């Protein structure tokens, strides 16, 4: 029953997001026909273009038409590129997802062992320095880290390529840039979980009954990672929706750059398609994160 409810919520969320995005874009000022033809176009040309694009129809008629096309997988053609919106998104979305996956792997592989190492440190002065560095990582904006790292590691040291050149190595520096603030967040959260878990009664019970320190650390680490799962979902969502600036800096032709271009050119079908596709992907990811979390911690199914 729990999974069925989640499935219905996911479907309803996708529908609601699509409807809201369509209505909000209708309220944006400006004329897509004029954006395509230019300010020097005649009223007759603008009227013909509006008719070609279907903008002369009412909002309700366009919404119903958009919904019917959506069910058949047709998101229309881009005003700017003249190509199917679904094709443009399918070309760009995999690259953004690749950046997100590499970044998540970096964050998990660094933050989990790092937080466990910090948890074992007993010197309070060393901990203060580490906490300061973690706070610094969290507070640094990605665009500033991106520009600085590009200058140092791309221009001066030449360890990485400055922009994207279709190779895996050209994605490493952008992923590191995105990962740094998130490593700070995850390490801080994980460290607090470890401290909290250490004070639990079952740990004291196991310790007094002679359980080896190695197994104690395994129990503490395992139970500290479980609350991280929802945060992992939030991180993935944040990465897919928030890489626009980094994609601009490193010239990565991902979904973020495509969205910026679509908004600037008032390309309504493309904007609607990007919002719908990315929202659908995020809702589905969130659905699977909830399922995994409920399997790892069965108490969640009972609470919800």
pLDDT tens for the chain, 304 residues: list them. Answer: 667 887 888 888 888 887 887 777 677 666 667 766 766 777 777 778 777 767 777 778 778 877 777 777 777 778 778 788 888 888 888 888 888 888 888 888 888 888 878 877 778 888 888 888 888 888 888 778 888 888 888 888 888 877 778 788 888 888 888 888 888 888 888 888 887 877 777 777 777 877 787 777 777 777 777 777 777 777 777 777 667 778 888 888 888 888 888 888 777 788 888 888 888 888 888 888 878 777 776 666 555 5
The 8 Å CB, 24+ separation contacts for 138-145 are 138/181, 138/184, 138/185, 138/188, 139/181, 140/180, 140/181, 141/181, 142/177, 142/178, 142/180, 142/181, 142/245, 142/246, 143/245, 143/246, 143/249, 145/177, 145/180, 145/181
Nearest CA-CA partner of 249 in 176, 181, 156, 186: 176
pTM for the full predicted model: 0.74
- CB-based contacts of 162, cutoff 8 Å, min separation 6: 150, 154, 155, 250
Q: What is the pLDDT of residue 71?
A: 76
CA distance 89 to 141: 27
Coil vs helix vs strand at 209: coil
**N-terminal to C-terminal alpha carbon distance within the chain:** 11
Coil vs helix vs strand at 160: coil
Return the number of other C-beta atoms located less than 10 Å from residue 125's C-beta.
7
């Amino acid at each position: 029953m729990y999974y069925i409810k989640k499935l219905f919520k996911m479907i309803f969320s996708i529908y609601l997001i699509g409807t809201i995005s369509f209505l909000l874009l209708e309220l944006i000022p400006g004329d897509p026909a004029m954006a395509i033809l230019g300010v020097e176009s005649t009223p007759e040309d603008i009227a013909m273009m509006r008719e070609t694009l279907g903008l002369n129809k009412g909002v309700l008629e366009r919404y119903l038409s958009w919904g019917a096309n959506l069910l058949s997988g047709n998101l229309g053609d881009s005003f700017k590129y003249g190509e199917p919106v679904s094709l443009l998104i399918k070309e760009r979305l995999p690259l953004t997802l690749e950046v997100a996956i590499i970044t998540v792997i970096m964050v998990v592989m660094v933050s989990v062992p790092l937080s466990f190492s910090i948890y074992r440190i007993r010197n309070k002065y060393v901990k203060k320095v580490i906490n300061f560095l973690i706070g610094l990582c969290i507070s640094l904006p990605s665009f500033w880290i991106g520009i600085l790292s590009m200058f140092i590691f791309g221009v001066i040291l030449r360890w990485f390529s400055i922009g994207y050149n279709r190779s895996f190595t050209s994605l490493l520096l952008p992923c590191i840039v995105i990962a740094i603030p998130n490593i700070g967040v995850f390490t801080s959260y994980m460290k607090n979980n470890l401290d909290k878990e250490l004070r639990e009664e079952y740990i004291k019970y196991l310790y007094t009954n002679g359980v080896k320190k190695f197994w104690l650390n395994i129990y503490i680490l395992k139970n500290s990672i479980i609350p991280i799962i929802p945060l992992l979902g939030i991180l993935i969502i944040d990465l897919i929706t928030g890489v626009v600036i980094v994609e601009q800096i490193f010239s990565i032709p991902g979904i973020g750059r495509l969205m910026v271009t679509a908004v600037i050119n008032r390309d309504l079908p493309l904007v609607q398609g990007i919002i719908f596709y990315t929202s659908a992907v995020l809702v589905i990811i969130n659905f699977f994160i909830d399922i995994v979390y409920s399997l790892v911690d069965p108490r969640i199914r009972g609470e919800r």
